[in-house]
Chain A
Amino acid sequence: MSDLVRLSAAELASALAAGDVSSVEVTRAHLDRIGAVDSAVHAFLHVDPVGALAQAAAADARRADDDDFPELLGVPVAVKDILTTKGLPTTAGSRILDGWAPPYDATVVTRLRKGGQPILGKTNMDEFAMGSSTEHSAFGPSHNPWDLDRIPGGSGGGSAAAVSAFEAPLAIGTDTGGSIRQPGAVTGTVGVKPTYGGVSRYGLIALASSLDQAGPVARTVLDAALLHDVIGGHDPLDSTSIDTQWPSMAAAARAGDVAGLRVGVVKELGGEGYQVGVQARFEETLTLLVDAGAELVEVSCPHFELALAAYYLILPSEASSNLAKFDAMRYGMRVAPEGVALPSAEEVMRATREAGFGDEVKRRIILGTFALSSGYYDAYYGQAQKVRTLISRDFEAAFAQADVLVSPTAPTTAFRIGEKVDDPLAMYLNDIATIPANLAGVPGMSLPSGLAREDGLPTGFQILAPALQDARLYAVGAALEAMLVDRWGGPLLDMAPELTVED
């Protein structure tokens, strides 16, 4: 393995700035790494060596011509396959979009291109981001680099696997109920779900519009902050994008400090139902915070118990409507019904949706269609929205007592591929600690807190902040990360097994 792929994005940026290495070299090193390990990891659905190297060459030229350039200029990135990329296949992990090349870039992608960051390719995910394991990808699951028989989390398992397997220094994920944070937790990487409205959703293929948020996936808190600064900020193309002047996340990470910080431990997120090793690492991490001068406060958010139920009404409702557009009329897959000589448009729609969507997608479309039906709307969708309001109030009350809230990110470490795929409820429980943040729109981060004693797999530590206070996550996360790395004697990923490299 080339040393270049082990460098963090910040280190690569320094090396590029110093002229020690070119973006073409960095990009080629990552493409080589993808070639060597991705048949085992399957983090990518599509790799774009030609495009990435051309963008790298352009970045090198720009650096030579111009003194004023973005910090991450020339640092490559992988993009979850749910964001549109002009001319590059975008499937959202679904057969129904197999072969579709969008005519436009998502705003996040536009900002990466403006920042001169080569796009290595598109990463694997659960179909339309529905899942916590990537097993619902129509193109086969991704594998956790810590143990290839295990899942890398989901829905953004591809982005987390790519970063943890050193195939990319940075990746973009999206988080509707935990799809950035839970994969971060189970792969030993850092993932951030920004404040709802902090990063444009334009070009993000919608799962649940009121919950979706794109964010950075990285190996360090600072790297995540640097990427957040590139992709964040107001976008007039997204009506829900917040028009405000955001502080630099990278500056917050560099200034990281927890002295005097009031840390709220959420009573409802932890303890029973959480794997012993996950809980143990969480508690050890709390003592580190106390040692560094933070104050622990126990807070209660009683309505969080209802979050999962509300989420599984709101999400399928919105998804059932968002996914209606996949009808074979304008793009993507088209299937003719069998045995029909002159099928009507409706018959083609039906046959295509039957063939093009996987079981989990169909399950949620059916759930959502039911929840929105006349006569049921008030009892289901309406009631879930009320719960959502109560959860927001719980957050408000908790943030009156604490500067940040913390919990384990996911209740377990990575489970085995196939273990939960036929048990939707067990699968849904993976997101129990991450969902409240999406319902309330507040930002959240997961960072590695160690390895569970019983299985030697990574555990995640979640930090939540009030809406708009994303910078606080980076300040706290960076300080905590420094203490943890110090304790481990190096980054957690150094303890990951070497992947067998193909020649």
Chain B
Amino acid sequence: MTTTELVAYDDAVARYDPVMGLEVHVELSTVSKMFCGCATVFGAEPNTQTCPVCLGLPGALPVTNKKAVESAIRIGLALNCEIAEWSRFARKNYFYPDMPKNFQTSQYDEPIAFGGHTDVVVDGSTVRVEIERAHMEEDTGKSLHVGGTTGRIHGASHSLVDYNRAGIPLVEIVTRPIEGAGANAPAVARAYVAHLRELLRGLSVSDVRMDQGSLRCDVNLSLRSSPQAPLGTRSETKNVNSLRSVERAVRHEISRQAALLDAGQRVVQETRHWHEDTGMTTSGRSKEQAEDYRYFPEPDLLPIAPERDWVDELRATLPELAAVRRARVQIELGFTDLEMRDVLGAGALPLIEATVAAGASPASARKWWLSELARRANDAGMTLEDLPITPAQVAGVQALVDAGHVNDKLARQVLDGVLAGEGEPEEVVAARGLGVVSDDTALSAAVDRAIEANPDVAAKIRAGKAAAAGALIGAVMKEMRGQADAGRVRELVIEKLT
């Protein structure tokens, strides 16, 4: 563990040129696992979604899930990759208790997709990220280390293993080195992962839930003295699992490596652990003493030679690509770049689009999802999608506001009612008695009482000081417990006093 102080970020990027490589693991949302028929439901009771194949029992054999291959090809196509005419699985051999066979069935030198690129918008300008490859593999089981303080294996008294995850299909997407980002590197990394998430969501191939591990990112980073200098030694920071962390991890590694280089030390090629709480990385295992994975072609599986017709068909039926679609949608909704970034960061774009489709204005849809509903989701520890409210219901609430049936304050109570399962917005209004009173007879009487009770104010208004009307409106609202249509009250006050 080095005790070198970090270098301030601005100084670090002034002296060194960062080069990144990002490896993203995507868990596919297929119904069954990569090589057997087991279910893939997240959060199921441990070890209930297993069979001889994914437990690696003696004698069991894998059979490739065609749907997973299809998803991998679609991902490759969406990333402008070539789809291999002939591709093979390989065994990656290493021992670990959560790997049932002690080898991972993966792809090595013959990936299903390779040589692509994707265009990422970062602060309004486009950055092209080259894609080295996208390959298929199976996930490992999950180890739970018990008895330590850190949840890591060090210091634990024993470990439990859940093999439900073992054999879930993964696609690993590997970029070529991303050069030239300079001080913008952390933002580019974040934007790339966010972009990938949108793209994958658009393909409907994965839940892309970073919090549940269905999208996981490893960050490779190295520094060099100038863009002309040869590549420096890289570190590989594993399991950086939120957009914010991706940005922070890149930033931290730049500062850390700059400090080492400034001190005349060398960067060690190693894997590093990311610590969400401290925003730091710590040394994992050194690549220099790393295992030799002894890759060789998987003899239990046939090579994958996707028919060209099939690939063409998949290409023809790809949904509109995320970047293109996003640019179009941004124009349609009239959002600024900053607004768009917030919307994408919150994963709210599909919800906002659906809300607009149900009749709300883009601005109001954005307001509800990014403020009120985002706050409630955050409080409940849920994602926006998981909130028990539909875009149509949000549009319904806004329609009530637009029609003057409720004001903003009451509208928030309507949302609470819908979220509490009390029914559609109109039903909540009726049940809770939240409707704004705009019945002129009732309002007129209340306005008369307010004028009578506040003769001074009434005199000011008669004298032309319309701004004083607020006090009378406030009195009416108070009497009607906030359920008066404030606009109509103002009109009545002015009518009666001028």
Contacts and interface: CB of A to CB of B under 8 A. Distances in A.
Given A346-B95, A373-B294, A240 B302 contact: yes
A218 interface: no
A204 interface: yes
Given A345-B159, A372-B294, A239 B55 contact: no
Contact of A237 (B55, B58, B63): B63
A204 B59 CA distance: 5
Contact of B64 (A103, A104, A239, A372): A239
Interface stretch (A142-150, A152-160, A226-234, A323-331): A323-331
A72 B63 CA distance: 31
Nearest to B64: A239
Given A209-B299, A372-B296, A325 B59 contact: no
B458 to A, nearest CB: 84
Interface size class of A (residues with CB under 8 A): 35 or more
Contacts of B161: 329
B301 interface: yes
B294 A321 contact: yes
Given A240-B300, A372-B296, A374-B294, A205 B58 contact: yes
Contacts of A103: 52, 57
A324 B296 CA distance: 14
B195 interface: no
Contact of A327 (B60, B61, B95, B157): B95
B97 A329 contact: yes
A379 interface: no
B294 A203 contact: no
Interface string A295-338: 00000000000000000000001101100111101110000000
B292 interface: yes
B5 to A, nearest CB: 35
Contacts of A97: 58
A349 interface: yes
Contacts of B176: none
A83 interface: yes
Nearest to A105: B59
Nearest to A382: B296
A325 B301 contact: no
Interface in A80-131: 83-84, 90, 92, 97, 100, 102-104, 106
A342 B93 CA distance: 26
B460 to A, nearest CB: 83
A345 B58 contact: no
A416 to B, nearest CB: 32
Interface string A26-57: 00000000000000000000000000000000
B102 interface: yes
B100 interface: yes
A310 to B, nearest CB: 14
Contact of A92 (B58, B61, B93, B100): B58
Given A239-B62, A342-B157, A325 B296 contact: no
A377 interface: yes
Contact of A324 (B63, B102, B299, B300): B102
A236 interface: yes
Interface in B4-53: 52
A201 interface: yes
A474 interface: no
Given A239-B64, A240-B302, A321-B296, A106 B59 contact: yes
Interface string A351-378: 0000000000000000001001110010
Contacts of A331: 57-58
Contacts, number: 101
A436 to B, nearest CB: 18
B101 interface: yes
Contacts of B101: 324-325
B177 interface: no
A201 B58 CA distance: 11
A324 B103 contact: yes
A275 interface: no
A122 B144 CA distance: 38
B91 interface: yes
Contacts of A84: 57-59
A311 to B, nearest CB: 14
Given A325-B58, A327-B95, A239 B294 contact: no
Contacts of A102: 52, 57-59
B202 interface: no
Contact of B61 (A238, A372, A374): A238
The residue in B61, B159, B161 that gathers the most chain A C-beta atoms within 10 A of its C-beta is B61
A325 B56 contact: yes
B95 A372 contact: no
Contacts of A240: 299-302
Contacts of B103: 321, 324
B294 A202 contact: no
A331 to B, nearest CB: 7
A210 interface: yes
A202 B57 contact: no
Contacts of A204: 59
Interface string B141-161: 000000000000000010101
A324 B61 contact: no
A325 B95 CA distance: 9
A447 B300 CA distance: 30
B198 to A, nearest CB: 35
A12 interface: no
A210 B52 CA distance: 20
A395 interface: no
A282 interface: no
A206 interface: yes
Contacts of A349: 95
A56 B97 CA distance: 42
Interface in B69-108: 91, 93, 95, 97, 100-103
A330 B62 contact: no
Nearest to A317: B296
Contacts of A330: 55-57, 100
A260 B58 CA distance: 46
A202 B302 contact: no
Contacts of B95: 324, 327, 346, 349
Closest 7 CB pairs of A and B: A324-B102, A372-B294, A209-B299, A210-B299, A203-B59, A205-B58, A84-B59
12 contacts: A102-B57, A209-B299, A237-B63, A239-B64, A240-B301, A317-B296, A321-B296, A324-B102, A325-B100, A329-B161, A330-B100, A373-B294
Given A205-B59, A324-B102, A325-B56, 14 more contacts: A100-B58, A239-B62, A239-B64, A317-B296, A318-B299, A321-B294, A325-B102, A327-B97, A327-B102, A329-B161, A374-B294, A377-B294, A377-B295, A377-B296
